[in-house]
Amino acid sequence: MGPTTRETSASDREIERYGALRDPAGKDLQAIVELAADHFGVRSAAINLITSDKQHQIAAAGFEPSICAREDSMCAVVVDEPEAVVVSDASRDTRFADNPFVTGVIGSIRFYASAPLVTSDGVTLGRLCVFDDEPRETTPEESHALEVLAARVMDVLELRLSHREVEQSLGELTRTRDELRRSNEALAHFASQVSHDLRNPLMVISANAEMLASEAGVADQPELAEMVREISDAGDRMSRLIRSVLAHASEGGGFAVGRVPLGPVFAQAVSDLRPVVGATAAEVVVHDLPHLPGDPDMLYAVAVNLLDNALKFTRPGVPPRVEVRAERRGDVWRVVVHDDGIGIPEQHAESVFLPYVRLSASDPDGPDDPVDGHGVGLSTVKRIVESHGGSVGVDSRTGAGATVWFELPASTAALDEVAGVPGRDA
């Protein structure tokens, strides 16, 4: 009885995966078939691989390897036998008596013995066989020896497969390494250029704020003096953030690790977004937040971008409400920024973290009327959080508000390896 369609297709796939029909037999497989023939004292031996329609002899002793139809193959008849098959006279065996290799149509085989070639996953590829034109008897030891030699055939094929897979993996790793190097070089160049372009106007802002602070008309008015101080402080934060981003890009992702109080970080972000909060009459509530390990300037960028994003997707005529809270989850803290706006459709839950993706301010499913910005806010959040060994995500559905969260390691020691600094106690 022949193999089923499922078994046949599995065998074909495995033969293709092992590359046994593409690669030359080589000295190792040739040596095994010659050893098999010599051990049994017969003229011929072959390694036969059985596909769904053919028998392929990939190595042979005593004759040149060839291909024949599966229905003519003697090995195909017993391909599913799990152990060695030994036939003293095939012309007297009902399984083979009418086979063309026995009847004289193709050959006049009498003695036939074979053992299965089985992969490590249990798929039979074919059989190692020995045969002769004269009947002969064998011993159990000889049958066992044939099974041992068949196992050695599979050892050779397994080694070749492993070698090919290792070479393929090394090639992929080399390509990935080269792509990563090019990407890092491009990122460092981009960060350097952006930092240079931002520093000049920032220097002007800081210089003017410093001059205004010294003006008598400003110094004598507490409200104006406070506004100028806030401008100056914002300029200092922006300058530190630029330096941090540049260092992060040029140093391959390294950053300073310290215990960062997230409460003041988010409070400062709310203060810096005061024009947006005022324009929308928004209510922003920041609950108790933990101290987490990280770079304070980079985590400030996370807070600003998350709050700015929450204040953009509002419902018409409804002042937005944004809540920031945190909860401990094992070895991480999850910080949640929830708004009551129009929400983010589930199909966009992952794409919103991609660079340059902008959704509509009125209909998140529509491409028209995108919100202001360049679509890099949440992608920046994702890059920073992941560089801190954390993760980000969205829990949202259209019309029910959006919940954007990020998780960061609770301990400094857990972050040190990511940041590239010596380990410390939390």
Adjacency order of strands within the sheet including 391-396: 283-286, 321-329, 332-339, 402-409, 391-396
Q: What does pLDDT average to over the chain?
A: 82
Percentage of residues of the chain with pLDDT beyond 70: 78
Per-residue HEC secondary structure of 257-306 comes to CEEEEHHHHHHHHHHHCHHHHHHHCCEEEECCCCEEEECHHHHHHHHHHH
Tell which wins on pLDDT, 218 or 426: 218
Across 2-6, 113-117, 199-203, 269-273, which has the greatest mean pLDDT? 113-117
> Once rounded to an integer, what is the mean pLDDT over residues 59-73?
94
- Give residue 174's pLDDT: 86
Report the candidate in 114, 117, 116, 176 with the shortest Cα–Cα distance to residue 143.
Answer: 114
| pTM listed for this prediction | 0.48
Class of domain 5-167 (CATH, top level): alpha beta
For residue 397, what pLDDT is reported?
62
Per CATH, which fold does 254-419 belong to?
Heat Shock Protein 90 (3.30.565)
Domain ranges of the chain: 5-167, 254-419
pLDDT in tens, 77-87: 999 999 999 99
Q: For residue 98, what pLDDT is reported?
A: 94
Residues 366-419: tens digit of each pLDDT: 444 444 444 457 888 888 898 888 999 988 665 568 899 999 998 866 555 555
> What are residue 118's DSSP bridge partners?
124
With 50 as the cut, is the pLDDT of residue 6 above it? Answer: no
**Residue 102: pLDDT over 90:** yes
Single-letter residue type at 11: S
* pLDDT confidence of residue 425: 36
Which tens digits make up the pLDDT trace of 324-375? Answer: 999 999 999 999 999 988 877 776 667 677 755 555 555 544 444 444 444 4
What is the pLDDT, as a whole number, of residue 424?
38
pLDDT (0 to 100) of residue 176: 84
Grade residue 285 by pLDDT with cuts at 50, 70 and 90: very high
What percentage of the chain has pLDDT greater than the value 90? 42
End-to-end CA distance of the chain: 68
User: What is the reported pLDDT for 248?
Assistant: 55
Residue 23 pLDDT: 83
